[in-house]
Amino acid sequence: MSDQVQAGAENQAPQTRPDKHVSLQTVERLSVYRRVLEELDRDGVEYIHSQQLAGLVGVMPAQLRRDLASFGTFGNISRGYNVYQMGRTISRIMGTDTTQSVALFGVGDLGRALLSYRGFEERGFHIAVTFDVDQEKVGRVFAGRRCYALGELATVLPHYEVRMAILASRPEGLQALADQVVAAGVHAILNFVPKRVTPPQGCFVENTDISAKLEKLSFLARAQATA
């Protein structure tokens, strides 16, 4: 199956209509598509066919087209998809075409490293405010962000219009912290603490255990060495 050709100007915006039953796997692949499209755009590539894009991201062309079809019709011409336009469209689908404010809980070594990571800003996420239980950190400014006491989150978060949070705090009391954050209006949490959090009602939680990822790589590397 080749790329479909839709009549109209080549700069025509794709007509997207989100499917309410899109899988999380599709969402994860969309993020990969966008990253690759951004790399191609920086390299000066203007158009790409679905077969080429699928090869770069490691999926079958039919899978890529099914993923895109979940969101409606994407306009393209015989030369293939417009790289810049498709990247922007996926950003709109993901809700990252405008900057979103994020709250960071915990400004220890990991928290400060996350504050310094420029990749968040490049992807449309701005860590706007931080919180910590350590009174020596409360009131200080870290990488341009003021640190507040945990007890202030209910009044501070609405001021920054925060709907997403990153947890980089201590494991103790983590579930209670997540419950507090959600009660203050947060709908999504990225958890870097090596302790799982049960998603409170009305919230999505993504648990990311860096040590577990290293353990996986260690196993794969050892298996390869002994093969």
Query: What's the pLDDT score for residue 17?
Result: 44
| Contact (CB, 8 A) for 165 and 139 | no
CATH hierarchy code of domain 15-93 = 1.10.10.10
Residues 6+ apart with CB under 8 A from 60: 54
Q: Could you tell me the pTM of the whole model? A: 0.80
Any idea where the domains of the chain sit in the sequence? Answer: 15-93, 100-213
Q: Tell me the C-alpha distance between 166 and 119, whole Å.
A: 14
Chunk the chain into consecutive blocks of 10 residues (it has 227) and report each block's average pLDDT, rounded to whole numbers. Answer: 34 43 87 94 92 93 89 69 90 89 95 92 92 95 95 92 94 94 94 91 90 90 85
Query: What's the pLDDT score for residue 167?
Result: 97
Query: What's the pLDDT score for residue 202?
Result: 86
The yes or no reply on domain 100-213 and CATH 3.40.50.720 is yes
